[in-house]
Amino acid sequence: MQRLLPDPGPTTVDEQLEGYRPWEEARGERPLVAVNFAATLDGRATIGGVSGPIGSATDTRMLAGLRTRFDAVMIGAGTMRAERYAEIGRRLIVVESGPLGPVDLPALLQTLGEEGVRALLCEGGPRLHASLQAAGLVDELFLTIAPKLSGGEHAPRIVEGELPAIAELELAWLLEEEGELFARYRRR
Ligand SMILES: NC(=O)c1ccc[n+]([C@@H]2O[C@H](COP(=O)([O-])OP(=O)(O)OC[C@H]3O[C@@H](n4cnc5c(N)ncnc54)[C@H](OP(=O)(O)O)[C@@H]3O)[C@@H](O)[C@H]2O)c1
């Protein structure tokens, strides 16, 4: 794997993640929130209804490595239904509407912070991502861009929902292996 930005040179998933310490950047009461997605070149977040066929084995290693850097993992109910979430070695929080309607995401993050969660990795899906972005609660975005075109009229993009404003991000790192790009963005 090559690191293209910053400081170009050879690297590995483990080496790259070794110095990544999101728990040191908790946002006061709430954890730092990073979101992870894989997408095709035509901007699709699923192939045949799931994310598995998008990324390579290196992408799987990156996700497994990322999980070790976070205190807990959060997903939406749609992702829970579509993907296999067995033992992931981290506390798993599944967000779904209750009888009172949608979950109050700022309040949920505050509660998680009080419970000692300092860094939270959200693994999607696109609608939970939109809810988090709309509430201004996403600090970082890990995006794997697979060198594939998949088409598909109903395949979602990585954000599916209204945002009150355009979210401006800056590129924190960019890695490459066999044409697949691994980007880490920070909210500006
Ligand atoms: N490419 C990738 O990296 C990637 C990553 C993750 C998922 N995916 C794919 O994305 C697809 C699922 O998409 P999706 O958008 O339906 O998934 P999702 O965001 O995981 O789930 C949507 C559901 O989450 C719940 N939700 C979201 N925000 C909420 C809030 N503020 N309060 C309460 N509940 C909330 C709702 O559940 P209820 O309707 O039950 O209330 C909503 O229907 C799957 O096909 C999966 O494979 C791809």
The number of residues in the chain equals 188
User: Can you give the pLDDT at residue 187?
Assistant: 96
The pTM (predicted TM-score) of the whole model is 0.97
d(CA 62, CA 65): 5
68 CA distance to ligand 1 middle (Å)? 22
**Count of CB atoms within 10 A of residue 104's CB?**
12
- Of ligand 1's listed atoms, the one at least distance from the Cα of 76 is 20
| pLDDT value, residue 178 | 98
Which ligand 1 atom sits closest to the C-alpha of 54? 1
Question: How buried is 39 (Cβ within 10 angstroms: 0-12 exposed, 13-18 middle, 19+ buried)?
Answer: buried
Confidence of residue 152 (pLDDT cuts 50, 70, 90): confident
Angle at 55 between CA 51 and CA 57, to 5 degrees: 120
CA of 3 to the centre of ligand 1 (A): 31
11 Cα: distance to centroid of ligand 1 (angstroms)? 33
